[in-house]
Amino acid sequence: MPDLSGKVAIVTGCASGIGAATVRRLRADGAEVFGTDLDPDGGTALCAEVGARFAVQDVSDRALWPQIVARAVEAFGRLDILVNNAGMVSGAGIGDHDDAAMFAAWDKVLAVNLTGTMAGCRAAIAAMRANPGGAKGAIVNIASTTAIAPLPTDVGYSASKAAVRALSKSVATWCAQAGLAIRCNTVIPGATMTGILAAAEVQMPGLIAAVAKTSPLNRLADPSETAAAIAFLASDECPFMTGAEMLVDGAALSIHPGF
């Protein structure tokens, strides 16, 4: 297990799914964690359970990001890790709905998934540059296999997650060229057993089994499996790894769709 003792992390979207698993994993590896989410009950309960701090945050509120980072630094004295996990789906294909509904869904999902991620990177870099002992840190942005194999039923989600891949590489190379020991990498999860998927199964029985078949392993990922990849990228065990992408997809993107 990576040793994250002495490190301080912010994890967005911490109340459930991959975010909750990441908070648990980073705490188990020794990090202090400041979790954020729009769900005050879920976020408070999770952070109380593992000994983390919690704040309500809408990641699309750009003005709030410096305040969130400042609260984490005030609580723990520094910032070493940012996990941009918070995200949402739009549920709209390019020809769905009328113009007003379509563009409202598009604007919202890009504000959360893309602008929120960029604003988090910007605020985190400012804090990491001011760390005692010099600039150092690790940013892990969460994309999706839909960034590579887009969903026809969700143009906003697919486009936003594809943009997160490019954003991460731009952040990584900017930090490197600026001489900052701040890395930025992307985790690309495949189908994962989360509350969102469980709720969708109620409306569409058989969905989970169908989604599981997208992986040659014929199962969904447990959120803890993605959290393990995040913990590795957040650790000091991969100092030359920046601008990289780590697939946690059960080989879903490694096989021809006809097989």
What's the mean pLDDT in 221-250? 98
Tokens of 215: 């992986």
76 is catalytic: no
The token pair that represents 163 in the structure block: 């943009």
Beta strands in 57-109 (DSSP E): 81-84
CA atoms lying within 13 Å on the CB side of residue 155: 12
Per-residue pLDDT band for 194 (boundaries 50, 70, 90) equals confident
Would you list the domain boundaries of the chain?
Answer: 8-192+221-251
Quick check: 200 pLDDT over 80?
Answer: no
Amino acid, single-letter form, for residue 155: V
Q: Is the pLDDT at 210 greater than 90, yes or no?
A: no
Is the distance from CB of 200 to CB of 155 less than 8 angstroms?
Answer: no
pLDDT category of residue 158 using cuts at 50, 70 and 90:
very high
Residue with tokens 């879920």: 42
Q: Per residue in 62-97, pLDDT tens?
A: 999 999 999 999 999 999 999 999 999 988 999 999
Q: Is the domain 8-192+221-251 a CATH 3.40.50.720 member?
A: yes
Catalytic residue selected from 157, 184, 187, 246: 157
Kindly report the pTM of this predicted structure: 0.96
Burial 76-113 (b: 16+ CB within 10 A, else e): bebbbbbbbbbbbbbebeeeeeeeeebeebbeebbbbb
Residue 196 has pLDDT above 80, yes or no: no
Among 151, 69, 67, residue whose Cα is nearest residue 109: 151
CA distance 143 to 80: 21
Q: Which amino acid belongs to residue 239?
A: P
**To which H or E segment does residue 183 belong?**
strand 181-189
Tell me the pLDDT band of 201, cut-offs 50, 70 and 90: confident
